Amino acid sequence: MKHLPVAIAQLNFTVGDVDRNVDKMLAACNKARTELACKVVIFPELAVTGYPPEDLLFRSDFLDRADRGLARLLVEAGDICVVVGHPFREDGKLYNAASVVESGQVRARYFKRKLPNYGVFDEKRYFSPGTDTLVIDIDGFAIGLTVCEDVWHQRPVADCVAAGAEVIFNLNASPFDVHKAREREEQIVVGRSREAAVPIIYVNLVGGQDELVFDGGSFACDATGQVVHRSTFFSEDLARIDIHQGSLGSNRELAPLPRHEESVYEALRIGLRDYVTKNGFDGVALGLSGGIDSALTLAVAADALGPDKVQAVLMPSRYTRDMSLADAKAQAQALGVTTQVIPIESLVEAYRTQLEPLFKGLPVDTTEENLQARIRGNLLMAISNKTGCLVLTTGNKSEMAVGYATLYGDMAGGFAVIKDVPKTLVYQLARYRNRSRVVIPERVITRPPSAELAEDQADTDNLPPYEVLDPILEDFIEHDCSIEEIAAKGFDLPTVSRISQMVLRNEHKRRQAPPGVRITRRAFGRDRRYPITSGFS
């Protein structure tokens, strides 16, 4: 009986670091050959350059480097058959390509047919679509080649089967969101394999790249849609799949699909870790207030980088409650994170004194509150400049949506870990993190949230409870529902109207916010692109 052992290489690449990416692939080829006894190794989409290269693809010197990287892989991979994604120029066009290389020769090359141009994807900006189907004989098996989006459509897979494909290889760079892992298997790929009655081997990228996190979870399903292999999520993996006539096999147990809170927490952790390490920062610093948002951010940072790479700065003012300081110190101690305390009241008073002639006769308002936030932002940025650490902002998606954040204050920093996490999910993630070991004090989770920029201040002074706010925001931001449609679900119409106006009015703030991990289907930035100047209301 025919038999083909195939290695699926779920690796973490860095965009633009072609040499290191090729080094990782060569190491995987060697391991696949010597330790797993495989004849074929499959790498993810655009593995040579990393994904997404974005406007680097407009540079001829970048594409030249990618060509040299592919040429080195061709020569040094040896006699193992390699299936690898890379950009490729031909007849004045650029393609998202996948090549089959073996023993120093390119045996075949496929151009991605279905180019996604929605959400975070801009592939039509860079690539031309392919038109041809590729089925190639590899050691006696007819293998159909597809790239990512191709397998989400009926035609490319059906064309492969019509051309005689016995198995489909699918190279992916599929970014994480809270629904994606199950959707890949249950609604699309498994459905496609059943529809076409053909096994599919799905190889995904893993790791963080700017706002995007790729969660891995590569898998293989047989012609009935039964998943026979699933790689781990959020970590590199090299696994063996055995192709037999009419079936696939794996010698591993299926890695489980992660639960909701687990998957989000891991995405935040990996996204932060890779942003810091791939950009060469020495560590991170953040303002630790004793509130839930900075508490969750601190926990993610310590888990991602290790407590020795994290510095927590407590910056109390006259409005900071004693319990906030106590809780902040307790959490830092529980995580083993170093803390610094910098009281800001004297700085606030200095600002007030200098501004008093200009503000004479004007009432106290949010200006004085924002001064405190901006002083804290200045202190953190000074620490960053002096030490080389990256400042983490701690605002959540609910706050960013309605503008409950201060420009050049608590928005000042280099990376916004939880900027796409709604407030209600922040609480869920805090409880999730405490399951293994309590590091976030219970009082931080249960006390009413407050910015502590004024006497007896609470978030609900200006906002509805987050249990009401978050569903309204989800409908308005992620589903583009009208005010009337949202109110028809049982929400108060004036409240919905006010919240929607707050979202639209604060686009200018979000445009100036640092990048952060994307976990939802409609994150601010790459996904949701609204004009700042607009007459729409």
Which residues does the annotation mark as catalytic?
Answer: 45, 112, 148
Q: Would you state the torsion angle of the CA atoms of residues 103, 104, 105, 111, taken in this order, to the nearest 10 degrees?
A: 110
Structure-block tokens of residue 373: 């936030």
User: Could you give the CA distance from residue 310 to residue 295 in angstroms, rounded to a whole number?
Assistant: 13
Residue with tokens 């106006």: 501
Tell me the HSE value of 308 on the side-chain side, using a 13 A CA sphere.
0
User: Could you give the CA distance from residue 251 to residue 228 in angstroms, rounded to a whole number?
Assistant: 9
Strand partners, 99: 84, 109
Determine the residue type at 469. Answer: L
Helix 466-473 and helix 493-505, axial crossing angle in degrees, nearest 10: 70
Strand partners, 214: 175, 207
The end-to-end CA distance of the chain, in Å, is 67
- Write down the H helix ranges in 396-517: 397-402, 423-436, 442-446, 466-473, 483-487, 493-505, 507-511
User: Could you give the CA distance from residue 487 to residue 493 in angstroms, rounded to a whole number?
Assistant: 5
DSSP state of 233: B
User: Could you give the CA distance from residue 380 to residue 43 in angstroms, rounded to a whole number?
Assistant: 41
Strand partners, 138: 141
Q: Are 111 and 129 in contact (CB under 8 A)?
A: yes
Burial group, residue 26, by CB count within 10 angstroms (0-12, 13-18, 19+): middle
User: Could you give the CA distance from residue 180 to residue 195 in angstroms, rounded to a whole number?
Assistant: 20
User: Could you give the CA distance from residue 89 to residue 361 in angstroms, rounded to a whole number?
Assistant: 67
CA 153 to chain centroid, in Å, comes to: 24
Angle at 206 between CA 297 and CA 204, to 5 degrees: 145
- Indicate left, alpha or beta for 54 from its phi (over 0: left) and psi (-120 to 50: alpha): left
